[in-house]
Structure formats: C-alpha cells, structure tokens
Amino acid sequence: MDERLEIATPKRTKEIINKYGFSFKKSLGQNFLIDSNILNKIVEAAELTPENGALEIGPGIGALTERLAQEAGAVTAVEIDRRLIPILKEVLEPYPHAKVRHDDVLKVDLHQLFREDFSEVEKVSVVANLPYYVTTPIVMKLLEERLPLDNIVVMIQKEVAQRMAAPPGGKDYGSLSIAVQYYCVPELICIVPKTVFIPQPNVESAVIRLKLRDRPAVEVEDEAYFFELMQSCFVQRRKTIANNLRSRYFEGGDRTQLEQLLAEAGIEPSRRGETLSLQEYATLSSVFLRAGIR
C-alpha cells in the first residue's frame, strides 16, 4: 500500500480535517487513530477474508474503514455524526462493496442490517474503535442479540478491556467479565498509548478480540435470572456473597434458608462475588430457581 495515501497518519488526518473544516465533539468521544501499525494489528486480529463481512461502529474519517474495505468482501460503517458522512463516502468511493449508514448503532435493528448488508458473506466480524462512553452498551447489544458473528475486535479503554478479559479472583473481575465471557473467549491483543490519537484521550486504550462461542460458556435454566443474580453479588464488592444475596433476596427473611442454598451450591457464605467462576454462578442460579427464590 502507498503509505502517502494512508489516512492513519498525523499529516493525512490533519489534511482531511482541514479540508472539511471538521471540529471534534467531546460528547461523541471522537479520537482519530494516527498510527498505521496499530491499525494493522486491529485488522490482522479480525482475520478477514474476501468471503467475510465487517461491521464498523464509529468509523470517524475512515482510516480503519478503508483497510476493512481492502480485506473484507462486504463492509458497513455505522456513523452517528452526520458531518462525517461526506468524508466517509469520499474515502469509500473506490470500494463499491463498502457502505456508510448514518445512524445510532444502539437504535439500529442489527438483524435487519445483517440481512440487508451481509447476506452474501459467510461470516461477519465487528471491527471498530469504539467511543469509550458507550463501549459496554454497544458490546452487550452485539452479544445479547445473538447475531451471526465470528468475532468482535475493538479498541476500547484499557481498564474496560482488562475487566472483560479478567479471570476470577482479581480486582478487575466483575459482572462485565462474566457477561462477556459467558458469550465469548476474550483475548487482549495490545495496549495502545494515548499518543497515537488526535486529539489525545485522557486514558490508555487496548485492542481486544472477543471470539464468539458456539454456545454459552455455561448452561443456565433462565438466562435473565442468571445475570440478575450474578449482578446482585457485585452490588457492594466489599460485602460477602451472603450479605449481598441477603440484601437482594432475603431482606427480613429466613437467613437459614440462604445458608442452606449456598451449601447446596457448594459455595462458602464468606466468599466475595469476584471469587466465583461462571460455573459457580450458573450452579447458584439453578439452586435459587429450584427453591423458588425470585
């Protein structure tokens, strides 16, 4: 590729911004990547082929979008900022298999989007530099809607990526770790310094790959209940699991029953939420359900 034409450089990015008189909106979390090496790592992690599709969320001025269009057989970029649409259309003009949608991805019917844009490809990956302020809602929407995804490769705030990938027992492990790992196998690809963006964000970033599982990591009888019970164990992280569960399910009730249910699940009441594995949460939710605890 001719490096002079790459968008992900300080010079080219500034040229495009100046040409269109573009100004950054803090409210949209706009930070444009200006390092082609990081861009290469993102694209390589997505493992795209001409038989695959790529959905990008928050494409900005199209640095990543252009690379996706060079690798994938179908590309759709969803951008919420109307001011960026003309820039993206110009960038993607040489790529008839790439399109831009002006929309809010949190409001889009993604199943319909997949039917319209990705019916001709075998697999689809989400590849994006996500706005940090909406990272978790976007990732959870992608997972909860059970889309036909191969993987999700995103650049997000480093601390959030570490929480997604964290094993049980540490300070990073929590409800987000469990929710993501229920659906995916997470893998941290690289840490990204704040210096490779215009403008520079206040935090470091990381690229993470979420490989979608063929089926959830654990079997649960009621998925909504499983997540509700699990989240109740993290309401106050310093409290034991028994105290958190008592506040949610047994306030003013029978403490003996809670102890019996925890014993049946093989879980010590003195443990804290961050020490339980996905399987232990699945077992606990099944025990509670069978006892009629709601």
- Residue 31 marked in a binding site: yes
- Residue 129 marked in a binding site: yes
Angle between helices 278-290 and 175-183 (to 10 degrees): 90
- Residue 33 marked in a binding site: yes
- Residue 214 marked in a binding site: no
Burial of 225 (0-12, 13-18, 19+ CB in 10 A): middle
- Residue 104 marked in a binding site: yes
- Cα–Cα distance for residue pair 242/226, rounded to 1 Å: 16
- Kindly state the tokens that stand for 233: 């164990």
| Cβ atoms 127, 63 nearer than 8 A | no
- Residue 151 marked in a binding site: no
Burial of 150 (0-12, 13-18, 19+ CB in 10 A): middle
- Kindly state the tokens that stand for 118: 């990705």
- Kindly state the tokens that stand for 279: 């399987």
| Cβ atoms 13, 198 nearer than 8 A | yes
Give how far Cα 195 sits from Cα of 32, 33, 44, 229, 256, Å: 11, 9, 22, 41, 56
Binding-site residue positions: 31, 33, 58, 79, 104, 129
Binding-site residue positions for S-adenosyl-L-methionine: 31, 33, 58, 79, 104, 129
